[in-house]
Amino acid sequence: MQLYLPIADLPVNVFLVLAMGAAVGFVSGMFGIGGGFLMTPLLIFIGITPAVAVASVASHIAASSFSGALSYWRRRAIDPALASMLLCGGVTGTALGVWTFTQLRALGQLDLMIALSYVVLLTAVGSLMFSEGLRALMRTRRGTVPPRRTHNWIHGLPLKMRFKRSKIYLSVIPVVVVGIMIGFIGAIMGIGGGFILVPIMIYLLRVPTSTVIGTSMVLTLVTMLFATMLHAVTNHLVDAVLALILMVGGVTGAQFGARAGQRIRGEQLRLLLGLLILSVGIRFAIELVIQPSDLFTIREMGVSG
């Protein structure tokens, strides 16, 4: 069943897009992440232009993050003070990212920038997460106690603030900087950034795992909602029809993914997630190195076919 997407300006198979939404929703539910790092490349690979894919997926991530953030709020697993500091940077980074997005589009370099960003970011993060998950799995099998976490130079920075819910005393400088980075990356690449934010908060900022996911979801919700509004007003690239189909599939798949994730150990989840992120990055690299023109001509091929 073909459906014409007005902003993307091409027909797509509704069941294919629904299946993609459900698959990414399953992954999101299993790993507790937004799934934009997977959804945006999939849309590009089926012919959606990178600009429309990034702008439309932002709304999908915002919608999927809302229910998760609400659930964590009811369980008091969100640190309001920490979320506020992250949002101070996140909103700024998102605005800067959308401005950069618009400038790159005007220069005709946006598609290449998005592809290169995915190759560099996903291969780096995927490799780190895969290796860390593999080490954790080996420690578990050997019965080795994981190394004790110690404070680093970040905890010596000035302008400290006490975050009561997370029970930490930390400088607001790295928190705001992290927010800026996540907002900027999300606006340009169409990702929520949870797979980057959560490890940074746990391993660098030493935020307890009890409040990490819920707090990161608040940042994802607000920054992606803000990015959607800016993309719609500034670039007119948000395809509401595409976003709606993805939301329907995503909500459905997330329910099954959450159940599956509860049956897998934490180190196995990190290993699988790292492998998945790395695979997407390698796929982009292959497209750029072996067939650099195909990544940006699929759309025309899909329309003519």
DSSP state, 48? -
Beta bridge partner(s), residue 13: 2
Distance between CA atoms of residues 115 and 190, nearest Å: 12
- The pLDDT assigned to 67 comes to 67
Provide the sign of the torsion angle of the four alpha carbons 166, 171, 176, 179, taken in this order: negative
Distance between CA atoms of residues 49 and 68, nearest Å: 29
Measured CA to CA in angstroms, residue 172 lies from 82, 227, 240 at distances of: 9, 23, 37
- The pLDDT assigned to 88 comes to 92
- The pLDDT assigned to 152 comes to 64
Rounded to 5°, the CA angle 285-273-213 comes to: 125
- The pLDDT assigned to 303 comes to 36
Burial of 45 (0-12, 13-18, 19+ CB in 10 A): middle
Consecutive 10-residue runs of the chain (305 residues): their mean pLDDT?
Answer: 77 84 75 72 81 80 73 79 90 91 84 79 79 74 61 72 82 89 86 78 79 82 86 81 82 70 62 76 72 48 37
- The pLDDT assigned to 301 comes to 37
- The pLDDT assigned to 305 comes to 36
Rounded to 5°, the CA angle 260-264-270 comes to: 110
Provide the sign of the torsion angle of the four alpha carbons 251, 222, 242, 113, taken in this order: negative
Closest by CA position to 33, among listed 236, 197, 265: 197
* Contacts of 6-10 spanning 24+ positions with Cβ under 8 A: 6/239, 6/241, 7/52, 7/56, 7/236, 7/237, 7/238, 7/239, 7/240, 7/241, 7/242, 8/48, 8/49, 8/52, 8/56, 8/239, 8/242, 10/47, 10/48, 10/299, 10/302, 10/303
Three-state SS for 165?
coil
Q: What six digits make up the tokens of 57?
A: 């997926």
Distance between CA atoms of residues 187 and 230, nearest Å: 9
